[in-house]
Amino acid sequence: MTQPQRERLAAAQAELLRALLADGDVPEGFDPDRVRVEKRALRAKRRGIVAALRPDVAAELGERFRPLFDAYAAAHPKEVGTRFREDAARFAEWATARGELQPPKKKRWWRRAT
């Protein structure tokens, strides 16, 4: 494979990833319906992992969790090397900054965990 071919392939792969993980356009040559289905599946998997790691956030948001997480995920694709716990924490911070979640209560050293 020549260097220009590698560069075209890398660009096409990046475009497909943007379509799958963010709100990028479906690249030419790909079936938009199949990309949409895969995008929905990947987002649901990510959402499920975040809900499992932060059940407190999912419970507090209730019915709003799914649409809020999907909006977050569209604007904040999971970065390479980011652990899911970090992703879940970033979502919680994002939701708190938007006023969707109550800010976490500060822990006091003199209070015991119950």
**8-40 confidence digits (pLDDT tens):** 888 888 899 888 988 889 988 899 999 999 999
Averaged pLDDT score across all residues of the chain: 90
Give, for 13, the enclosing helix (H) or strand (E): helix 3-21
Q: Tokens standing for 99? A: 């006023």
| Res 58: pLDDT | 97
Q: Tokens standing for 85? A: 């716990």
pLDDT band at 67 (very low <50, low <70, confident <90, very high): very high
Count of C-beta atoms within a 10 Å radius of residue 74: 14
**77-100 confidence digits (pLDDT tens):** 988 888 999 999 999 999 999 999
| Res 111: pLDDT | 63
